[in-house]
Chain A
Amino acid sequence: MNLWKILGLAPTRDRSAIRRAYAQKLKQTHPEDDPEGFQRLREAYELALASSEPEAPTPLYWGPDEEEEPSFSEPFEGEPVSALSALEEETPPPGQQSRLDQLKLQLLRALYDKDDNRALFSWEEIRSLPSMVAIETKWRFEEWTLWTLHDRELSPPPSLVRAMDAVFDWTERRKHRSPDDVQIVDSWLSILRASDLIDALREEASGWPKKSLRYKRAVAASLLVGPFRLNLLLWAACHHGVSAAMQEIWREIATFDEGAVRQLDPKVSDWWRRRVAAGFPWWIRTGRNILKFTLAVSGVVAASFGVVVVGLMVTPVDNATWLLTIAGYSAGALLVVPFSYLSISVPVVALLRVAEAASKWQPPRALGRIGSAITAARDWCGLGELHDSSELRRKVRVLAVMILVVSFFAAFILMQE
Chain B
Amino acid sequence: MIVGIDLGTTNSLVAVWKDGRPQLIPNALRQVLTPSVVGLDDGGEILVGAAARERLLTHPELTAAAFKRYMGSERVIRLDRTSFRPEELSALVLKSLKADAEAWLGEEVTEAVITVPAYFNDRQRKATRIAGQLAKLRVERLLNEPTAAALAYGLHERDSETKFLVFDLGGGTFDVSVLELFERVIEVRSTAGDNLLGGEDFVDVLVSGFLRQAESEGVATDNFQGKLRAALRAEAERVKRALSREDSSTMSLRLEDRVLSWTVSEESFAKLADPLLKRLATPIERALRDSRIRSTELAEVVLVGGATRMPVVRKLVSRMFSRFPHTQLHPDETVALGAAIQAGLKARDRSLSEVVITDVCPYTLGIEVSKRMGASFEDGHFLPILDRNVVVPASRIDRVYTLHDRQREVRVAIYQGEARRVKDDVFLGAITVAVPPKPPGEESIDVRFTYDVNGLLEVEATVTSTGTMRRLVIEESPGVLTAEQIDERLQALAALKIHPREQSENRAVMARADRLYEQLLSQERDFLGEQIAAFDAVLKSQNVKEIERAREELVAVMDRFDSESYL
Is B75 an interface position by the 8 A CB rule? no
Contact A135 B288 (CB under 8 A): yes
In the complex, the chain B residue whose C-beta lies closest to that of A69 is B319
Is A317 an interface position by the 8 A CB rule? no
Q: A135-B295, A176-B418 are in contact. Are A31 and B393 (CB under 8 A)?
A: yes
Residues of the B chain whose Cβ atoms lie less than 8 Å from the Cβ of A177 = 364, 384, 418
Chain B 104-154 interface residues, beta-carbon cutoff 8 Å to A: 141
Q: A38-B393, A76-B296, A169-B282 are in contact. Are A19 and B318 (CB under 8 A)?
A: no
In the complex, the chain B residue whose C-beta lies closest to that of A28 is B356
Is A39 an interface position by the 8 A CB rule? yes
Residues of the A chain whose Cβ atoms lie less than 8 Å from the Cβ of B184 = 23
Contact A76 B322 (CB under 8 A): yes
Contact B322 A72 (CB under 8 A): yes
Is A35 an interface position by the 8 A CB rule? yes
Chain A 303-346 interface residues, beta-carbon cutoff 8 Å to B: none
- Expressed in whole angstroms, the Cα–Cα distance for A274 and B185 within the complex equals 64
Chain A 1-36 interface residues, beta-carbon cutoff 8 Å to B: 19-20, 22-24, 26-27, 30-32, 35
Contact B393 A26 (CB under 8 A): no
Other-chain contact of A133, B319, B394, B407 (Cβ < 8 Å) = B319
Min Cβ gap B216→A in Å is 29
Chain B 423-453 interface residues, beta-carbon cutoff 8 Å to A: 450, 452-453
Contact A175 B321 (CB under 8 A): no
Min Cβ gap A328→B in Å is 53
Is A89 an interface position by the 8 A CB rule? no
- Expressed in whole angstroms, the Cα–Cα distance for A291 and B403 within the complex equals 47
Is A366 an interface position by the 8 A CB rule? yes
Interface flags, A174-186, vs B, CB<8A=1, else 0: 0111111000000
Contact A365 B404 (CB under 8 A): yes
Is B284 an interface position by the 8 A CB rule? yes
Is B411 an interface position by the 8 A CB rule? yes
Residues of the B chain whose Cβ atoms lie less than 8 Å from the Cβ of A137 = 322
Residues of the A chain whose Cβ atoms lie less than 8 Å from the Cβ of B185 = 22-23, 26
Is A115 an interface position by the 8 A CB rule? no
Min Cβ gap B559→A in Å is 40
- Expressed in whole angstroms, the Cα–Cα distance for A26 and B318 within the complex equals 35
Q: A20-B183, A180-B289 are in contact. Are A32 and B346 (CB under 8 A)?
A: yes
Is A134 an interface position by the 8 A CB rule? yes
Q: A23-B182, A169-B282, A175-B418 are in contact. Are A39 and B394 (CB under 8 A)?
A: yes
Contact A136 B322 (CB under 8 A): yes
Give the size of the chain B interface in residues (CB under 8 angstroms): 50
Contact A19 B182 (CB under 8 A): yes
Residues of the B chain whose Cβ atoms lie less than 8 Å from the Cβ of A32 = 141, 346, 453
Other-chain contact of A72, B288, B324, B376, B419 (Cβ < 8 Å) = B324
In the complex, the chain B residue whose C-beta lies closest to that of A34 is B393
Q: A23-B183, A136-B295, A175-B418 are in contact. Are A35 and B322 (CB under 8 A)?
A: no
Q: A133-B320, A135-B284 are in contact. Are A179 and B183 (CB under 8 A)?
A: no
Residues of the B chain whose Cβ atoms lie less than 8 Å from the Cβ of A58 = 294, 297
- Expressed in whole angstroms, the Cα–Cα distance for A38 and B376 within the complex equals 43
Min Cβ gap A165→B in Å is 14
Q: A39-B395, A42-B391 are in contact. Are A70 and B418 (CB under 8 A)?
A: no
Is A95 an interface position by the 8 A CB rule? no
Contact residues of B: prevailing secondary structure? mixed
Is B489 an interface position by the 8 A CB rule? no
Is A281 an interface position by the 8 A CB rule? no
Is A364 an interface position by the 8 A CB rule? yes
Residues of the A chain whose Cβ atoms lie less than 8 Å from the Cβ of B316 = 133
Contact A135 B391 (CB under 8 A): no
Residues of the A chain whose Cβ atoms lie less than 8 Å from the Cβ of B217 = none
Residues of the A chain whose Cβ atoms lie less than 8 Å from the Cβ of B294 = 58, 136, 139
Min Cβ gap B278→A in Å is 10
Other-chain contact of B356, A26, A130, A173, A176 (Cβ < 8 Å) = A26
In the complex, the chain A residue whose C-beta lies closest to that of B281 is A135
Is A75 an interface position by the 8 A CB rule? yes
Is B323 an interface position by the 8 A CB rule? yes
Is B286 an interface position by the 8 A CB rule? yes
Interface flags, A340-358, vs B, CB<8A=1, else 0: 0000000000000000000
Contact A35 B418 (CB under 8 A): no
Residues of the A chain whose Cβ atoms lie less than 8 Å from the Cβ of B321 = 134-135
- Expressed in whole angstroms, the Cα–Cα distance for A39 and B364 within the complex equals 18
Contact B289 A365 (CB under 8 A): no
Q: A136-B295, A179-B290 are in contact. Are A35 and B404 (CB under 8 A)?
A: no
Interface flags, B257-299, vs A, CB<8A=1, else 0: 0000000000000000000000001101110111010111100
Residues of the B chain whose Cβ atoms lie less than 8 Å from the Cβ of A27 = 353-354, 356
In the complex, the chain B residue whose C-beta lies closest to that of A70 is B322
Chain B 306-340 interface residues, beta-carbon cutoff 8 Å to A: 316, 318-324
Interface flags, A347-377, vs B, CB<8A=1, else 0: 0000000000000001011100000000000
- Expressed in whole angstroms, the Cα–Cα distance for A121 and B52 within the complex equals 55
Interface flags, B70-104, vs A, CB<8A=1, else 0: 00000000000000000000000000000000000
- Expressed in whole angstroms, the Cα–Cα distance for A177 and B389 within the complex equals 12
Residues of the A chain whose Cβ atoms lie less than 8 Å from the Cβ of B384 = 177
Interface flags, A194-220, vs B, CB<8A=1, else 0: 000000000000000000000000000
Residues of the A chain whose Cβ atoms lie less than 8 Å from the Cβ of B453 = 31-32, 35
- Expressed in whole angstroms, the Cα–Cα distance for A82 and B318 within the complex equals 31
Residues of the A chain whose Cβ atoms lie less than 8 Å from the Cβ of B407 = 365
Residues of the B chain whose Cβ atoms lie less than 8 Å from the Cβ of A133 = 316, 319-320
Residues of the B chain whose Cβ atoms lie less than 8 Å from the Cβ of A26 = 185, 356, 358
Residues of the A chain whose Cβ atoms lie less than 8 Å from the Cβ of B288 = 135
Is B408 an interface position by the 8 A CB rule? yes
Min Cβ gap B303→A in Å is 15
Residues of the B chain whose Cβ atoms lie less than 8 Å from the Cβ of A139 = 294-295
Q: Which of A75, A137, A173, A362 lies at the interface centre, i.e. has the most chain B CB atoms within 10 A of its CB?
A: A75
Residues of the B chain whose Cβ atoms lie less than 8 Å from the Cβ of A135 = 281, 284-285, 288, 295, 320-321
Residues of the B chain whose Cβ atoms lie less than 8 Å from the Cβ of A176 = 286, 418
In the complex, the chain A residue whose C-beta lies closest to that of B355 is A27
In the complex, the chain A residue whose C-beta lies closest to that of B140 is A32
Contact A178 B411 (CB under 8 A): no
- Expressed in whole angstroms, the Cα–Cα distance for A128 and B453 within the complex equals 43
Min Cβ gap B438→A in Å is 15
Residues of the B chain whose Cβ atoms lie less than 8 Å from the Cβ of A75 = 296-297, 322-323
Interface flags, A150-183, vs B, CB<8A=1, else 0: 0000000000000000000100110111111000
Q: Which of B286, B296, B322 lies at the interface centre, i.e. has the most chain A CB atoms within 10 A of its CB?
A: B322
- Expressed in whole angstroms, the Cα–Cα distance for A12 and B41 within the complex equals 68
Chain B 347-380 interface residues, beta-carbon cutoff 8 Å to A: 353-354, 356, 358, 364, 376
- Expressed in whole angstroms, the Cα–Cα distance for A72 and B285 within the complex equals 20
In the complex, the chain A residue whose C-beta lies closest to that of B409 is A365
- Expressed in whole angstroms, the Cα–Cα distance for A130 and B411 within the complex equals 53
Other-chain contact of B289, A23, A42, A178 (Cβ < 8 Å) = A178
In the complex, the chain B residue whose C-beta lies closest to that of A134 is B322
Contact A31 B358 (CB under 8 A): yes
- Expressed in whole angstroms, the Cα–Cα distance for A279 and B219 within the complex equals 66
Residues of the A chain whose Cβ atoms lie less than 8 Å from the Cβ of B296 = 75-76, 136
Min Cβ gap B88→A in Å is 29
B residues at A contact (CB < 8 Å) = 141, 182-185, 281-282, 284-286, 288-290, 292, 294-297, 316, 318-324, 346, 353-354, 356, 358, 364, 376, 384, 391-395, 403-404, 407-408, 411, 418-420, 450, 452-453
A residues at B contact (CB < 8 Å) = 19-20, 22-24, 26-27, 30-32, 35, 38-39, 42, 58, 69-70, 72, 75-76, 130, 133-137, 139, 169, 172-173, 175-180, 362, 364-366
- 26 examples of A-B residue contacts, CB within 8 angstroms: A19-B182, A22-B185, A26-B185, A27-B353, A27-B356, A39-B395, A42-B358, A58-B294, A69-B319, A69-B322, A75-B297, A75-B322, A75-B323, A76-B296, A76-B322, A133-B316, A134-B320, A134-B322, A135-B284, A136-B295, A169-B285, A173-B289, A175-B420, A177-B364, A180-B289, A365-B407
Q: Which 6 A-B pairs have the closest CB atoms?
A: A23-B183, A35-B393, A135-B295, A133-B319, A176-B418, A76-B296
